[in-house]
Chain A
Amino acid sequence: MKDFALMMIGAALVNNVILARFLGLCSFMGVTTRIDTAAGMGLATTFVITVSSMADWAVQHYLLDAYGLGFLRTVTFILVIASAVQFTEMTIKKVSPSLFQMLGIYLPLITTNCAVLGVALLLVEGRMSFIGATLFAFASSLGYSLVMIIFAGLRERLALAQVPRLFAGPPIGFIVASLLAMAFMGFSGISTG
């Protein structure tokens, strides 16, 4: 239990998907103009990363490893992720058409989010058990959502600040992102301390 807890803290904070591994930067800059949209995108991505990681683990162990097809890993994982997104979209539509109308816009964007593929490939490198891999994926995506929401909050405040004209918009966004990344570097003390 303690091992799982440490692994999850490490995945969410110390080796954060966005700020330490630099994955999912497109949605990090693109969907963080408001906290509510960032939270929606974060939760949708959390769901897809967790579900696709479960499927990826099964495919890796019972298909790719079993038949020596490791060289097809990336292509197969992309297919699994696209299927997971489609599955999610169809399920949300079936569960509640109203929810689908409200949330459906985020789902197509997740297919092209490299964080989903990145986490799946990290799982394979980690050689984890099924529950370990799923918890790692869940924690990584929680870290992703956390950073998205924090950054969206900062950008909402930035929109009210008087920023010099040359720095307005994306430039000040990148500067804030770099400061946030440095702040998250403080969590690396957890692993050494």
Chain B
Amino acid sequence: MPFTEVTTITTDHLFKQLIHNLLRLQDTYRHCSDLDMVQWQYGPGMKNSAVSVYFKSIINNKKINYMKRSMQDLTEHIIGPGTEVTPEMLIKFFDSHGASAESATLESAWSLIDQRILAGYVVIFLDGWDKAICYEANGLETRQVMEPETEPVVQGPREGTVENMQKNIGMIRMRVRSTAVKFEAFQAGGYSNTAVSYGYLEGVVDTAVLEEFKSRIRTVNPGEILDTSYIEELIEDSPYSPFPQFRYTERTDVAAAALLNGKIILLVEGSCSVLICPGLFFELLQSSEDYYQRVLVSNFIRWLRFIALLIAISLPSLYIAISTFHTELIPTVLLLAIIDSREGIPFGAFFEAVIMVFFFELLKEAGIRLPKPVGSAVSIVGALVIGEASINAGIASPIMVVVVALTGIASFAMPQYNLSIALRLLQFPLMALAALLGGFGILLGYLFIWLHLVTLTSLNVPYLTPIAPWNSRQFRDTLIRKKLPALIRRPKPPPST
């Protein structure tokens, strides 16, 4: 049986006989109903066989016959009319001229041909030739370029990335038109064999960081990569830290700005998230809009975010500490108001806070998971109806509802979603410490968080740069944003002679 004859040959090289190649294909792509193998004839008396192989689910129908047609056109002009072409002439022609048509290549290894077929190429096998002509015919519809929902801005470009990596790279290239922009690519291996690409600005990126990144990215292969976040977890310094060590964006302008700042950006085929590495703590509090607004306005917004960060992490714990241990610190009128509102509440401040924060987190999660129209109903029922009812029922005090709501709003003010999750996570241990040791407990909690931040690194770059360690150049854009002329990197003037 020819089938067994083929499988015993372990070579990666194509066979000369078309039948052997077809058997190999049938074996490899068994049970793949969306694979088409279209046999066609050419040459004098239509006696010579050829087969086009492609996944009809991936390719553009208009391109299926493209190579067949252009082959006939080419041969007509150079080696005679299509009906008279013999396989020998055709093979000689391609061997000497190569495949000159659009994105076409000649391949002779099965491993490469399989990759091509899976990537949406049409592969043409000719009888009597141990090579195949492959040309790109991917016609999968992708999403239109839109403003990313997670990173809206009031002012500035509204171009977002899509699920097509090459398109994303193209959009970034259009923003930084320099030969120094490099994009290196590799296949992630595994079953998914996803295409991954990382870009950097040569001459601006820190070479030590780039080397570290490259050494880590090598560990990704083989890996089943379905989204950029998979790679984040595989290459980050401390996977168990609550703090994100890389940044994400879906905006091409942010990705381009990151390149200009000497960052490495990583894109994955099929994902619209661009990973920016290394990601430092203070960068997580910056937004692209900081540079599109006037200096004063953007500084005001940036400080608003710093305050929001403090509120998001510590307001419930501060409330617990002050109302349980340090009531003398509250101005008298406010103290009376709090006591008045807490009268009749069956729980202590700690339990009340934990219950409220827990249910708030639950509502938030439910709101995200549910379809949009229902999601808003949940937030109305959750926030307004349950909140109001629990106050009336005497389960929660109004001031606690205010505290929890303010904490939630503050956490929404973080430009990076993964930072706001980290803050939501950290408020629980802080609340426990506040309940145990009051203000002293909160201080201890802060110290531990601070210590953790000091020891954290992202691609070996200290996480709290430019504050610890101090870097005055980078500090110009940290707690305050200086005006743009002070921030823009300019080439140093040549030393005076």
Q: Do A and B actually bind?
A: no
